[in-house]
Structure 1
Amino acid sequence: MSRIIKGFFILIVTLPILSGCWDEIEPQRMYYVNGVGVDFKDNQYEIYLQLINFKDIAKSEIPYVPEAPAEIGYAIGETLEEAIYELYRSIDQEVFWGHMNFLIFTEEALKHEEVISVFDTFLRFRETRYQMNVHLTQDSLKEILLTTPILNKSLIDSKLSHPLNARKLEVFTEPVNLKNLVIGLNEPSHEVSLPLVSIVKNWDTTKEHPSKETTIKGIGILSKDGFKGVIIGDNARGINWMQNKKNRGDLTFKLDNNKSLTVDMEEKYFDVKPVIKGNQVQFDVDIKVDVILNGFKKKATENAIRKGVIKKVKEEIKATYEAGLMLNVDIYRLSEHLYRNNVKVWKALENNGKIPLNEESIRIINVEIDKIKSGRKTFSETINK
């Protein structure tokens, strides 16, 4: 066989392999969706699409990006899909949804009777993932989506995209991704607590106006039957101590001498036990924490710190629980704890997935402090006066 024939034969064999990449689109010729905001007004959906700069993805550690870090597209439609296709008509390159990190809703959108169908849209689309986070806000969607992290860090590292980046500092409430939202709505008590995102201006810059940043200021409760309401500020702090995952947070309380002290708290153990007596059920809560002292108050004894921490944790848990009762919400998912422990009793008591709850349903809150870490070898002030 001549060299020409051999070369022709090799070309014919390799052509199918080479042609497999001919229809691929180069990464720089695509737009990347990082997040979507959903509002509902005047019986129409309002969609905000956050497209992030490709260079911002590839070089997320660069603190300054000269190009615009994001563009926000806006459209309205009678359905979510119609609004998205309306945006497509003004886009000049293909849109890739595989890097989408979050969904954020207004209260009006969550109150709409067809909000579950919105989740279904993103679940069914082949490019989106179950890991995207779901948030709620009472602020302007456009303003939130245009807010960049401190020092112009990449938007893919923002609190909306990756809320656990700051876990070592504090976890106010556990983030909810699309997978956990579906599970929570399908299982007792068929309610999910979504992080409530707001804008703060805590950081100063060289500009005339303070820099804006997002923060979590509370929770909003969504059930399969509709939106229940929000719990904000100190009334929501009990959530931090009633989660199965190890959490860290701050706690400010009064000592016996009426001086305030702030400590770091690391939760090591959490358990809820149903106590069944006939047709009545109550719950015992057991929590074990470590306390870390950042500052020190004169005459603050270890016993006084233990007493103050235990009292304050119990107060925060009760305050959040009572705020949930006012919204007819099983804020700590006590119904699910009974369901997992004794499904027979749960079936006898449940109504639409939830069991009846009142102020006496939590019988005991047992808070145990395992260690108090002073940060020094001595349990005394650093400088003697």
Structure 2
Amino acid sequence: MNKRILILVIVLTTLLTGCWDVKAPERMLYFHGMGLDYKDGKYEVYAQIIDFTTTAKNEQPITNVPQAEVGHASGKTINEAVFNLYHSMDEMVLWGFFSYVILSEEVLKNGRANQVIDAFIRYRETRYQIWVYGTKDPVKDILLTTPNLNRSITLSKLGNPENSYEQESFIKPINFRTLIIGLNEPSYEIGIPFVTISKWKTEKETKNEVELSGVGVLSPKSFKGFIPAEKASGLQWMTNDTKRGEVTSKVGPNEDEHFTVVVDKVKVKVKPIVNKDKVKFDVHIKLDFNISEFKDKVTIDEIRKEVIKEVEKEVKDTYEEGLENDIDIYRLSEHLYRKNIKAWKKFQKNGKVELNEDSIKLKVEINKIKSQRKSFKETIDK
């Protein structure tokens, strides 16, 4: 009897050995980024596959093998285009490392952003942490850029934007999770970073690198417009997520004299003020900044005054640029929705509260001033 049981166990264990459905990593390809365009009634898909033999370390790859390749296919839907792309793939593709998607303006128009979200989020291998960008440039060219000094492509500004955001919080990175929340809640609009190609030079050639160019604003049904970088500076002063930024302003009687301070803390409070027939918003901004440049005969009070003046200007310029495109750029409607739902229901139209130039009352306050040294004097006496 014992022999029969032993033989049965041996036979059954042979059936359990091995992992029949496991795919070997070297027999797979890995999508890292994707660009989408829309032309002549079809989606144009550009997919970036990466070589993980060059991404395990931060330093420059030791071989001349390209870090990435970009494939292209088109289709009447995004999924059809992706399946057409599979026609030219040598191995099975894993989407688990998919990090970012770049959308052209044509894709963003006419509510096509909803199709993009559904196509990626509903697939079991993709995540909500995929970064989202817009562009006016050819998406293929952006996918072919490589990081500075040819560092690992997984550390690029597109695939790892939080790293550079710590040093300069100019435009906040947006992922699919934040995008979906922004489109589902008042004012049903959200800005996504736009990128463009900038030129860097090496000893032998000129290289393409990725640069932030502004903000594009989406609604569930349309692309509301683009705010260029020079008009988008106010965004960084209207969020508590800002880690670090700079303010440059004129000081003294000389019109050519400018001064730069580094802001390292921002605290914003927005308070809706409801009257019988209208609503306004009190915006209170507190800043901490460091002084690293010193000008002779410039006092701390003068610096404080000019910094406040410049921050107010940047906030108002961005706000007015939004008004011109019917955009609630600071999501003021959401503040009313969160703090006074009864008033929001009264004043809202399609989720937005009507805004004008007088809808915000702005106050900027300097909380702390630091010099990064013990002295507020120039290093060299004149």
TM-score category, normalised to shorter length: over 0.9
Q: Point out the more displaced range, 110-119 or 262-271.
A: 110-119
Deviation at 1:82, TM superposition (A): 1.1
Q: Point out the more displaced range, 9-18 or 303-312.
A: 9-18
Deviation at 1:233, TM superposition (A): 2.1
Aligned to 1:197: 195
Deviation at 1:22, TM superposition (A): 2.3
1:303-322 correspondence to structure 2 within 5 Å: 303-322=301-320
Structure 1 contact 39–109 (Cα < 8 Å) conserved: yes
Secondary structure of the corresponding residue to residue 145 of structure 2:
coil
2:366 to 363, 366, 369: 369
1:240 aligns with 2:236: yes
Deviation at 1:95, TM superposition (A): 0.2
1:61 aligns with 2:67: no
Question: What stretches of structure 1 of length at least 5 have no aligned partner?
Answer: none
Structure 1 contact 103–135 (Cα < 8 Å) conserved: yes
Aligned to 1:34: 32
| Separation in structure 2 between the aligned mates of residue 155 and residue 112 of structure 1, nearest angstrom | 32
1:183 aligns with 2:181: yes
- State the aligned residue count: 379
Given the two structures, how large is their TM-score scaled by the length of structure 1? 0.95
1:217 to 208, 213, 237: 213
Aligned to 2:377: 380
Aligned to 1:160: 158
| Separation in structure 2 between the aligned mates of residue 162 and residue 292 of structure 1, nearest angstrom | 27
Deviation at 1:287, TM superposition (A): 1.3
Deviation at 1:85, TM superposition (A): 0.6
The change in CA–CA distance for 1:72 and 1:255 in structure 2 (over 3 A counts) is same
Aligned to 1:11: 10
- Which string of whole-angstrom CA distances, capped at 9 and with x for unpartnered residues, describes residues 218-252 of structure 1? 10001012001100022110011111314311111
Structure 2 contact 48–68 (Cα < 8 Å) conserved: yes
1:116 to 114, 117, 124: 114
Aligned to 2:264: 266
| Separation in structure 1 between the aligned mates of residue 325 and residue 163 of structure 2, nearest angstrom | 31
| Separation in structure 1 between the aligned mates of residue 119 and residue 338 of structure 2, nearest angstrom | 31
Aligned to 1:249: 245
Question: What stretches of structure 2 of length at least 5 have no aligned partner?
Answer: none
Deviation at 1:5, TM superposition (A): 7.0
| Separation in structure 1 between the aligned mates of residue 4 and residue 303 of structure 2, nearest angstrom | 89
Aligned to 2:283: 285
Given the two structures, how large is their TM-score scaled by the length of structure 2? 0.95
Structure 1 contact 131–179 (Cα < 8 Å) conserved: yes
Aligned to 1:230: 226
1:76 to 70, 74, 77: 74
Q: Point out the more displaced range, 9-18 or 153-162.
A: 9-18
Q: Point out the more displaced range, 189-198 or 65-74.
A: 65-74
Q: State the identity as a percent.
A: 46
- Which string of whole-angstrom CA distances, capped at 9 and with x for unpartnered residues, describes residues 98-125 of structure 1? 1100111010111144331121111111
The change in CA–CA distance for 1:279 and 1:91 in structure 2 (over 3 A counts) is same
Give, as a single letter, the amino acid of the residue that structure 2 aligns with 1:265: V
| Separation in structure 2 between the aligned mates of residue 342 and residue 64 of structure 1, nearest angstrom | 55
The change in CA–CA distance for 1:178 and 1:360 in structure 2 (over 3 A counts) is same
Secondary structure of the corresponding residue to residue 151 of structure 1:
helix
Secondary structure of the corresponding residue to residue 47 of structure 2:
strand
| Separation in structure 1 between the aligned mates of residue 240 and residue 288 of structure 2, nearest angstrom | 16
Give, as a single letter, the amino acid of the residue that structure 1 aligns with 2:87: R
| Separation in structure 1 between the aligned mates of residue 7 and residue 150 of structure 2, nearest angstrom | 55
| Separation in structure 2 between the aligned mates of residue 188 and residue 97 of structure 1, nearest angstrom | 32
| Separation in structure 1 between the aligned mates of residue 166 and residue 90 of structure 2, nearest angstrom | 41
Deviation at 1:16, TM superposition (A): 4.7
Secondary structure of the corresponding residue to residue 365 of structure 2:
strand
RMSD: 1.6
- Which string of whole-angstrom CA distances, capped at 9 and with x for unpartnered residues, describes residues 35-55 of structure 1? 110000111110000101121
Q: Point out the more displaced range, 250-259 or 84-93.
A: 250-259
Q: Point out the more displaced range, 282-291 or 256-265.
A: 256-265
Structure 1 contact 240–247 (Cα < 8 Å) conserved: no
The change in CA–CA distance for 1:341 and 1:9 in structure 2 (over 3 A counts) is same
The change in CA–CA distance for 1:18 and 1:132 in structure 2 (over 3 A counts) is same
Structure 1 contact 64–151 (Cα < 8 Å) conserved: no
- Which string of whole-angstrom CA distances, capped at 9 and with x for unpartnered residues, describes residues 312-367 of structure 1? 0000000000000000000000000000010000001111100100000002x121
Secondary structure of the corresponding residue to residue 168 of structure 1:
helix
| Separation in structure 2 between the aligned mates of residue 359 and residue 15 of structure 1, nearest angstrom | 77
The change in CA–CA distance for 1:9 and 1:61 in structure 2 (over 3 A counts) is farther
